[in-house]
Amino acid sequence: MAKHSVQRKRKKKSNGFSFGSAVVLVLCFIGVSFGLYLWQAAFSIGQPTPTVDDDDFRPTIGEPPYRIVIDAGHGGSDPGARGVVQESEMTAATAEALSAWLERDPNYIPLTTRESYDSTAKPAERAAAANAQDPDLLLSIHGNSAPEGSSAAGFECYPAVPGRAYHQESYYFAKQLAGAMQAAGASLRGRGGIRYIYYQGEVKQLVESSHKEVRVERSFTILEDVNCPAVLAEQCFVTSDTDVAQFGSEDGCKRTARAYYEAICAYFETTPLPEE
């Protein structure tokens, strides 16, 4: 009887699941999971990630009429850059011509950031004025400049930077602007005419649009503070005779305004009015 009892106990022990076995299984599971994680990470390195460069991105636009803020850079006691033309005079002429196109098009309501182009207003004040009008889009018009003797020329624009609420929409609008200006004959600076600006204290840093990392430094105040997609455009170099003749003279400002108008129509998917 005693021998039989011992045999039954041994049999029961051999069929049991020990704590050590459970630990081994858990460690194996963790090892396999970690291995799969490393494999997936290694596979993803160098693979393209979705960005606003993707051709299938489209902004949500709603129904017309669309409220477009035209911000003429500088003015009043701030003339901006001086060269073949004065920047504030060029931006005012371009803004006026663009506003005329939008006024004739029933799909749009043109708005401004101040009462007149001769008045002085800081960027934060202009952004606040824009926000008070419930805008759908903002275009800040500027001119570029270079030191004497420089041959710098061409168009470039700056959308709201990565990480901001309207970055994707702003970048999409920037692509429409660059495309329209190129079609009008402008050369594009940087990566397709689109760049980012960051301020490190008083120092302005230019970054190509291929850099998608989110940074804490602020960009242009008008882009940071406005509550809608926004782009700052440098339509030409006021220090370049060739640039000004094409895009900064009286006819050049009208040509630029037409390109900006067509870019706005492309953004909102409306048909531009025919040229006169």
Task: Count up the domains in the chain and report the number.
Answer: 1
202 pLDDT band (50/70/90 cuts)?
confident
Burial category of 64 from C-beta neighbours within 10 Å (exposed 0-12, middle 13-18, buried 19 and up) = middle
- DSSP-derived secondary structure for 149-181: T-----BEEEEPPTTSTTHHHHHHHHHHHHHHH
Is residue 145 assigned to a domain? yes
Is residue 34 assigned to a domain? no
Residue 220: which domain range? 66-268
Is residue 227 assigned to a domain? yes
Is residue 77 assigned to a domain? yes
Tokens 């003279």 belong to 249
- 142-178 residue pLDDT tens: 999 999 999 999 999 999 999 999 999 999 999 999 9
Is residue 28 assigned to a domain? no
Question: Contact, 241 vs 82, CB < 8 A?
Answer: no
Is residue 60 assigned to a domain? no
Query: What does the alpha-carbon distance between residue 88 and residue 96 come to, in Å, rounded to a whole number?
Result: 12
Is residue 33 assigned to a domain? no
> Measuring CA to CA, how many Å separate 258 from each of 24, 97, 180, 265?
72, 8, 9, 11
pTM summary value: 0.80
- 124-134 residue pLDDT tens: 999 999 999 99
Task: Pick the closest to residue 101 from 269, 253, 205 (CA basis).
Answer: 253
User: What type of residue sits at position 168?
Assistant: Q
Higher-scoring residue by pLDDT: 43, 229: 229
Is residue 273 assigned to a domain? no
- Four-residue CA torsion sign, 57, 234, 133, 126: positive
CATH of the domain at 249: 3.40.630.40
For residue 233, list its beta bridge partners: 141, 157
250 pLDDT band (50/70/90 cuts)?
very high
